Amino acid sequence: MNNEPAPENEAELEAFRRRWREEVQSRHKNAQEPVSPERVRPQQRRKSVPHPPPPVAGPSSVKKVEEDEDEEDVAPKAYHDLPDKEEALKLGADDSQSHERAKLFEQPRSALEHYEKAVEKENHGQLGDSLKHYRTAYKLDDGVHEHYKKKHFPKPNPSNASTTVPNPAHHSLQGQKATSQQPKTAPALPATLAQLVSDLSQLQIEPQPPPTELSPPEPCPLGEIPEEILSHILLELAIMDVASFARTAQVCKRLAYLVLTEESIWKRVALGNECGFAAMHYDYVTDIEGNALPDPEPELSEDSASSEEESQPPTLTTLPKERPTPFTPLHTLHPTLSTHTAHLLATTYSSSPRSLLRSRPRLRFNGCYISTVNYVRPGAQASNTLTWGAPVHVVTYFRYLRFFRDGTCASLQTTAEPGDVVHHLTKANLHAPPGGGLPGAVMKDSLKGRWRLSGPASLHHPEEAEGEVHIETQGVVPRYFYKMHLGLGHAGKGARNNKLVWKGFWSYNRLSDDWGEFALRNDRAFYWSRVRSYGEGWE
């Protein structure tokens, strides 16, 4: 049996030996040259251990090294949950938004980062990616869940426990013992909200202190504005975005006092038609296709017309199809709604417009309601496999609901993720043709519809209780239409009206006059997500 190596392997081995001899000779030659200490760089002084030479390997080892150098990671990388993939490509994009989008492309490195990414993927319904990050996190650190709990769910201090502030000036054991025996407690908070408001009412907006004692005082234009003008600025901010107005309370204590006590601003927002109850519909005002319905008028005889007008409240009028003026009062749009809202404000919500806006059920037009549905189904096992377990498939799809101010809505069920859908969920893209890429690729199955809220303010359903949403949409074929019954709920600490819970889902056959109910075994609740490109929610 011939054990001699092949000629080509022998040539490769000889070439490797020749390159290695040349490298050793060059290193030995450089080591013999004298180098003055002054010319040695700091990096060379710190370098004390030379790189060990690679071991002399046989032909098979040389071939393996060359294969490892040529090997590349060709697995595709997927990036999900992008806010707007097309917005980042536009010229003049905001640098802060570009920085936030760049964070989405960063890959986690530590065990805690993998665990946080897994939780994020799980909340978005991407169970496959979530499982990969969970496995990687536990491989790096089997106690990563404890670090996650300490970071995101720290244990609060008891309310009756005193907060000890250590004094770093005492370095002796006796000084530390004396400090621990006399703990310094944190200042006590006001006992009631009224006391807190009273304390804040005496404060003013003060400028930033100068850097030195001889420096001139820093200018503070906001503190020089009169109170009336500052309240008007806050009113305009609240009309544009009530969330930004509420976050203004975090700037300073004086603004926190104004945000808390300016009832006129909260009343204007709650009764206005931007995000308040003047924009809510308690009866259908359009058909399923989006065409306006005639104003409902009760049929009265000429003799009883005068007596009925005195005893009956004004009839409900519909919102105009065009955008109303910014300061359209509530009673000119909804007389019945205005009367009912005024009654609730005085009774249920204790004359607090802020509580009325936060707690009374209402829909939001500056975002989209998204439901992530996951279910597991068994897969088919190949006949030539020898595995014991059967494959399992995790199926994920999404339901989208967007409500418009004119009483119409858009419904969509698709497997496309929110980053690819929400910015195209507009009236212009409903039933977009499938050709031509986006938005037709994701909006081809979208459905038009209409919506209304329940409540005593309804002219046709005054017996209903508030807190429910009724939706009617087109069907997949013209002979059907769908009806959804959802309930408004809360998700998250301090959040209100950001959740829609299923109560029923039916289909109606126009030809056979027959109703059919859908089973909601896998469907989950809708959660509201803000989309800045929606603007005021008209289109």
Confidence of residue 282 (pLDDT cuts 50, 70, 90): very high
Q: Is the pLDDT of residue 302 over 80?
A: no
Phi first, then psi: what are they for 386, rounded to 5°? Answer: -115, 20
pLDDT tens across 254-273, in order? 899 999 889 999 999 998 88
| pLDDT computed for residue 310 by the predictor | 41
Residue type, 419: G
Higher pLDDT pick, 84 / 73: 84
Q: Is the pLDDT of residue 380 over 80?
A: no
| pLDDT computed for residue 16 by the predictor | 83
Phi first, then psi: what are they for 358, rounded to 5°? Answer: -80, -40
Confidence of residue 59 (pLDDT cuts 50, 70, 90): very low
Distance (Å, rounded) from C-alpha 291 to C-alpha 295?
13
| pLDDT computed for residue 38 by the predictor | 45
Q: Is the pLDDT of residue 298 over 80?
A: no
Tokens describing residue 300:
């009265």
Q: For the beta carbon of residue 229, count every other beta carbon within 10 angstroms.
A: 9
Higher pLDDT pick, 482 / 33: 482
| pLDDT computed for residue 502 by the predictor | 96
Q: Return the percentage of the chain with pLDDT > 90, whole number.
A: 30
Phi first, then psi: what are they for 155, rounded to 5°? Answer: -75, 125
| Cis-peptide, bond into residue 439, ω within 30° of zero | yes
| pLDDT computed for residue 264 by the predictor | 92
pLDDT tens across 131-173, in order? 889 889 988 898 898 889 888 888 765 444 444 444 444 433 3
Burial of residue 264 (number of CB atoms within 10 Å: 0-12, 13-18, 19+): exposed
Higher pLDDT pick, 501 / 434: 501
| pLDDT computed for residue 313 by the predictor | 34
| pLDDT computed for residue 35 by the predictor | 47
| pLDDT computed for residue 161 by the predictor | 44
Report the pLDDT averaged over residues 510-525. Answer: 92
Phi first, then psi: what are they for 433, rounded to 5°? Answer: -65, 145
| pLDDT computed for residue 7 by the predictor | 56
Q: Which of 57-61, 102-106, 347-351, 509-513 has the lowest mean pLDDT?
A: 57-61
Confidence of residue 492 (pLDDT cuts 50, 70, 90): confident
Burial of residue 174 (number of CB atoms within 10 Å: 0-12, 13-18, 19+): exposed
Confidence of residue 176 (pLDDT cuts 50, 70, 90): very low
Distance (Å, rounded) from C-alpha 96 to C-alpha 87?
13
Distance (Å, rounded) from C-alpha 356 to C-alpha 349?
6
Q: For the beta carbon of residue 79, count every other beta carbon within 10 angstroms.
A: 12
pLDDT tens across 86-129, in order? 555 554 555 555 555 555 557 888 999 999 998 888 887 788 88
Closest CA to 285 of 458, 407, 427, 468: 407
| pLDDT computed for residue 501 by the predictor | 96
Average pLDDT over all residues of the chain: 75
Q: Are 520 and 486 in contact (CB under 8 A)?
A: no
Q: Are 483 and 471 in contact (CB under 8 A)?
A: yes
Q: Is the pLDDT of residue 297 over 90?
A: no
Closest CA to 161 of 183, 190, 179, 191: 183
* DSSP per-residue string spanning 157-215: PPTTSPPP---TT--SHHHHHHHHHSPPPPPPPPSSHHHHHHHHTT---PPPPPSSTTS
pLDDT tens across 354-368, in order? 999 999 999 999 999
| pLDDT computed for residue 5 by the predictor | 53
Confidence of residue 31 (pLDDT cuts 50, 70, 90): low
pLDDT tens across 384-410, in order? 666 667 788 888 999 999 999 999 999
Burial of residue 472 (number of CB atoms within 10 Å: 0-12, 13-18, 19+): buried
Helices of type H across 33-107 = 42-46, 59-70, 95-104
pLDDT tens across 184-218, in order? 444 555 567 777 777 787 788 888 888 888 888 88
C-alpha distances in Å from residue 489, one per residue of 54, 242, 371, 383, 496: 67, 20, 14, 49, 7
pLDDT tens across 318-344, in order? 334 444 444 444 444 444 557 788 888
Q: Is the pLDDT of residue 484 over 80?
A: yes
